[in-house]
């Protein structure tokens, strides 16, 4: 289990301190795939670097597998870091070494005998689907293949935790999908806990079970991906899940009040709500935006309606009678 308890990180800069993380508390269970998402500058990289103590928190505790990392000696920390490995957006492979030598490298550092290291490296190249690239150099590989080698190298010390810092951000959508499949496969086969840092919703939706949304160094909300993404409660969550600030331009806030409806399951998403409001209640709403998404094999719908101000309460009472629909009024900025 990874536990961050009231972690804060302040960087010194010429113009004063920068509070990159403010009182962040998170628990990531063993074997989970946990996404940390947020806009640029939200503190994602700082957070992930605090998990393996590449950054030392200014305050708070980092506990991995029951061991408190932030009070360890450098030697203890080096040993603990073998269990917490990391992959990066730019792969960070050693370009003068072959793929096999890259995968052997962390084993060399930790004193594994050469023959054993080579045997394990070959198994890992097999696991990531590139057994034939052992003697190739990184520059001879595509970005997706380089990330596979980086994953093999990260697994060389038999870690318990794999940290992925924007690991697919430099890849095209198809390759991204393949790498995410590989990470999920490794999580299932080896039981490794995975922490995914990303600014892409699609990445979190594809592989994560849980997610925390970071905003300005603070955890704005956290929970199951299906729950957070179906009905985000925080302003930062709504900005991520329902982008489209232009919505505010397409209806007159003086004449209509806006509500966001979120639906769960295919029966509810199939309900002709707008038509029923019109035919049964005589309320003519405008649909400002609407979408459906699939999360964890469930279908979720979201619709932003403009309801004529004079009929607002009647419409809300009617919608309240329907099951599996969550309704909330949103302000003029449509968050």
Ligand X SMILES: Nc1ncnc2c1ncn2[C@@H]1O[C@H](COP(=O)(O)OP(=O)(O)OP(=O)(O)O)[C@@H](O)[C@H]1O
Residues that bind ligand X (CB under 6 A): 11, 13, 18, 20, 38, 40-46, 199
Q: Smallest distance from the beta carbon of 315 to ligand X, in angstroms?
A: 39
By C-beta, is 10 or 157 nearer to ligand X?
Answer: 10
CA dihedral sign of residues 100, 185, 162, 201: positive
Give me the least distance between CB of 92 and ligand X, in Å please: 15
- Name which of 88 and 242 has its Cβ closer to ligand X: 88
Q: How far is the CB of 54 from ligand X (least distance, A)?
A: 11
Nearer to ligand X, 27 or 58 (CB): 58
User: Does the CA dihedral 46-52-53-54 come out positive or negative?
Assistant: negative
The residues, any chain, with a CB within 8 Å of residue 11's CB and separated by 6 or more, are 17, 18, 20
The residue whose two tokens read 């962390």 is 106
Closest distance between ligand X and the C-beta of residue 5, in Å?
A: 19
Nearest to 132 by CA among 149, 117, 147: 149
Which residue's CB is nearer to ligand X, number 13 or number 174?
13
**What gap in Å lies between CA 47 and CA 9, rounded to an integer?**
9
Q: Are 125 and 134 in contact (CB under 8 A)?
A: yes
42 or 207: whose CB is closer to ligand X?
42
CB 67 within 8 A of CB 80: yes
Beta bridge partner(s), residue 326: 262
SS3 category, 85: strand
Please say whether the dihedral angle defined by the alpha carbons of residues 216, 218, 220 and 222, taken in this order, is positive or negative: positive
Cα–Cα distance, 181 to 183 (Å, whole number): 5
Closest of 119, 185, 117, 118 to residue 151, by C-alpha? 185
Which residue is associated with the tokens 């409660």? Answer: 233
Looking at the Cβ atoms of 46 and 85, the one nearer to ligand X is 46
CB of 270 to ligand X, least distance (A): 38
In 3D space, the residue among 210, 216, 200, 121 whose CA is nearest the CA of residue 165 turns out to be 200
Residue 271 has, within 13 A of its CA and on its CB side, a CA count of 22
Nearer to ligand X, 43 or 306 (CB): 43
Please report how close the Cβ of residue 121 comes to ligand X at its closest, in angstroms: 31
Compute the least distance from the CB of residue 13 to ligand X, in Å: 5
CB of 53 to ligand X, least distance (A): 15
Q: Which is nearer to ligand X, 22 or 160 (CB)?
A: 22
The Cα 291–Cα 192 span in angstroms is 34
């Amino acid at each position: 289990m990874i536990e961050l308890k009231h972690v804060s990180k302040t960087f010194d800069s010429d113009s004063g301190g920068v509070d990159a993380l403010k009182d962040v508390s998170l628990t990531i269970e063993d074997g989970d795939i946990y996404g940390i998402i947020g806009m640029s500058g939200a503190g994602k990289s700082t957070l992930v670097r605090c998990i393996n103590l590449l950054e030392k928190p200014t305050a708070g505790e980092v506990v991995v597998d029951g061991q408190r990392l932030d009070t360890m000696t450098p030697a203890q920390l080096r040993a603990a870091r073998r269990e917490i490995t990391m992959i990066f957006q730019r792969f960070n492979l050693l370009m003068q070494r072959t793929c096999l030598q890259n995968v052997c490298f962390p084993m060399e550092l930790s004193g594994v005998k050469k023959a054993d290291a080579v045997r394990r490296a070959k198994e890992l190249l097999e696991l990531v689907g590139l057994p034939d690239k052992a003697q190739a150099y990184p520059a001879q590989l595509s970005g997706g293949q380089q990330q596979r080698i980086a994953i093999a190298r990260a697994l060389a010390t038999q870690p318990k935790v794999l940290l992925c810092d924007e690991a697919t951000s430099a890849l095209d959508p198809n390759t991204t999908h393949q790498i995410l499949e590989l990470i999920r496969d490794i999580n299932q086969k080896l039981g490794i806990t995975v922490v995914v840092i990303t600014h892409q919703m699609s990445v979190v939706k594809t592989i994560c079970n849980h997610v925390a949304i970071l905003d300005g160094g603070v955890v704005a909300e956290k929970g199951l991906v299906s729950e957070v993404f179906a009905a985000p409660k925080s302003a930062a969550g709504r900005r991520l899940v329902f982008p489209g600030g232009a919505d505010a331009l397409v209806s007159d806030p003086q004449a209509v009040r806006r509500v966001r409806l979120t639906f769960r399951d295919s029966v509810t998403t199939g309900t002709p709500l707008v038509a029923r409001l019109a035919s049964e209640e005589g309320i003519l709403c405008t649909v400002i935006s609407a979408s459906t998404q699939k999360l964890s094999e469930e279908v979720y719908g979201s619709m932003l309606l403009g309801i004529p101000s004079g009929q607002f309460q009647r419409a809300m009472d009617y919608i309240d009678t329907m099951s599996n629909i969550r309704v909330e009024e949103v302000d003029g900025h449509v968050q």
